[in-house]
């Protein structure tokens, strides 16, 4: 395995970063399922986040998430079917359909925010506040600002 040794230092780093991300997301959704949101999937949280409490439109949502308006529209369809979003006509512009969070959507987003904070706290307990902060500082220093975005859904797939 000389050419593709998984112990190569460069190979381990991305795996560790992914493992950190995944462990947080997995724990979040395990707990979210327990709290009445079994259908909420990793990408959905980012979508709800992008919709925001003020609502938006499918086109604008696609823009925020970095995907096409059609993709955003289909995602909204699914979240509507799951009861997290709802559509409404825009009285000021008959072309636009406002996308808003339902009560359930707000509840899911609020719970995920609380849980994310709790999960970070768990890291603080295990590593210490200074080391977690240093880790965040280092990542901030080394990643380009444009990679710190919400457009999670599409980047991995196609």
Q: Does 158 interact with DNA (rule: CB under 7 A)? A: yes
By C-beta, is 40 or 115 nearer to DNA? 40
Integer Cα distance of 32 and 84 in angstroms: 14
Phi, psi of 87 (to 5 degrees): -105, 150
Q: Is residue 73 a contact residue for DNA (CB under 7 A)? A: yes
* Among DNA, a copy of itself, none, partner that 118 touches (CB below 5 to 8 angstroms by kind): a copy of itself
Residue 97 Cβ vs a copy of itself, minimum distance, rounded to whole Å: 22
Question: Residue 144, interface with a copy of itself (CB under 8 A)?
Answer: yes
Residues contacting residue 65 through CB under 8 Å, at least 6 positions apart: 46, 47, 50, 72, 150, 151, 152, 153, 154
By the rule CB under 8 A, 70 interacts with a copy of itself: no
Q: Is 42 in the site for a copy of itself (CB under 8 A)?
A: yes
Residue ranges of the alpha helices (H) in the chain?
A: 9-34, 42-51, 58-65, 69-82, 103-127, 129-142, 152-155
Question: By CB under 7 A, how many residues form the interface with DNA?
Answer: 32
Applying CB under 7 A, among 31, 59, 100, 123 the residue interacting with DNA is: 59
Single out the residue of 57, 105, 108, 109 in contact with DNA (rule: CB under 7 A): 57
Other beta carbons within 10 angstroms of residue 100's beta carbon come to 16
């Amino acid at each position: 395995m000389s050419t593709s040794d998984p112990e190569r230092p460069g190979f381990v780093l991305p795996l560790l970063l992914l493992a950190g991300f995944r462990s947080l997301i997995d724990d979040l959704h395990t707990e979210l399922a327990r709290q009445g949101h079994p259908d909420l999937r990793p990408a959905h949280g980012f979508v709800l986040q992008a919709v925001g409490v003020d609502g938006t439109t499918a086109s604008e949502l696609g823009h925020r998430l970095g995907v096409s308006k059609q993709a955003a529209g289909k995602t909204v369809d699914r979240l509507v079917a799951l009861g997290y979003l709802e559509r409404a006509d825009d009285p000021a512009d008959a072309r636009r359909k406002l996308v808003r969070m339902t009560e359930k959507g707000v509840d899911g987003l609020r719970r995920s925010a609380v849980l994310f904070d709790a999960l970070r706290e768990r890291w603080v307990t295990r590593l210490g506040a200074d080391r977690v902060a240093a880790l965040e500082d280092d990542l901030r220093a080394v990643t380009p600002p444009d990679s710190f975005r919400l457009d999670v859904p599409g980047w991995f797939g196609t």
